[in-house]
Structure 1
Amino acid sequence: MRLTRGEPAPPGASSPLKHRHLACFSSAVSHVRIACRLQGPSVTLTQHRPSTARPARRIHPVVHRTRRETAAIATIVQDTAIEASAEDVWDAVRDVEAVHKRLIPGYVLDARMDGDTRYLTVPGDAVIRELIVSIDDDLRRLAYSAVEGFKIPLTHHHASFQVVPDGPTRCHLVWTTDVLPHDMAEQVRLRVVRGSQVMKETLEQQSSH
Structure 2
Amino acid sequence: MGLTGGIGAGKSTVAEHLARHGAVVVAADDVAREVVEPGTQGLDAVVAEFGPQVLRPDGSLDRSALGRLVFADELRRARLEEILLPLIAAEAWARLEEVEPGRVAVYDVPLLVEGQMEDMFDVVVVVEADMEARLERLAARGMEAEQAMARIASQATDAERRAVADAVIANSGSLEDLALAVDHLWDQQLAPEG
Flag the structure with more relative contact order, 1 or 2, with Cα contacts below 8 A and sequence separation at least 6.
Answer: 2
TM-score normalised by L of structure 2: 0.23
Higher helix share: 2
Higher strand share: 1
